[in-house]
Amino acid sequence: MLFSLNDVDNQNILIIRYSRQYWDHCMENPHRQLIETICNDVLPNMVRIFESKKMDSVLDQDQYVRLLEENVERANKSLKMLPVEEQGQYRVMIDQAYAINIDRLRKQHPVLQTVTAHPIPSEKKFN
């Protein structure tokens, strides 16, 4: 639909249509929303799925860790698209979410401690 921008009625329609009050319901910054969704929803839900053991036959712990790290990488890519003054705040959010969720994921399967069956001599004797 073509119309003249010189027409006062058309200018008023455009001003009303694109005014701030009509855009409040829209996303201001999709990168900000993506980071918040990954940190607050995706990572904790992935750990909950792992803890429920419903996907044990399909995914093991290493695959969950890899998926967690992929989501953190995606959040870090979106972090670069934010204004510089907000990047520090969101970087802390990403780091905290990753640390909390990776710790929860790894505490389910602690690393076994190696215990020596017999003492290992510290000095080697060569003939």
Flag whether 21 is in a domain: no
Flag whether 7 is in a domain: no
Distance separating alpha carbons of residues 75 and 37, to the nearest angstrom: 9
Q: Each residue of 65-98: pLDDT tens digit? A: 999 999 999 999 999 999 999 999 999 999 999 9
Flag whether 12 is in a domain: no
Flag whether 53 is in a domain: yes
- 123, pLDDT greater than 80: no
Contact 44, 77 (CB under 8 A): no
Structure tokens at 12: 């008023």
pLDDT band, very low/low/confident/very high, at 14 (cuts 50, 70, 90): low
Distance separating alpha carbons of residues 64 and 90, to the nearest angstrom: 23
Domain count of the fold of the chain: 1
C-beta neighbour count of 92 within 10 angstroms? 10
Distance separating alpha carbons of residues 47 and 64, to the nearest angstrom: 8
Flag whether 119 is in a domain: no
CB under 8 Å to 39, separation ≥6 — which residues?
A: 75, 93, 94, 96, 97
Residue span of the structural domain in which 68 resides: 27-107
Flag whether 112 is in a domain: no
Q: Report pTM.
A: 0.62
Contact 6, 61 (CB under 8 A): no
Flag whether 117 is in a domain: no
Burial 21-33 (b: 16+ CB within 10 A, else e): eeeeeeeeeebbe
Q: Each residue of 23-32: pLDDT tens digit? A: 555 557 888 9
Flag whether 67 is in a domain: yes
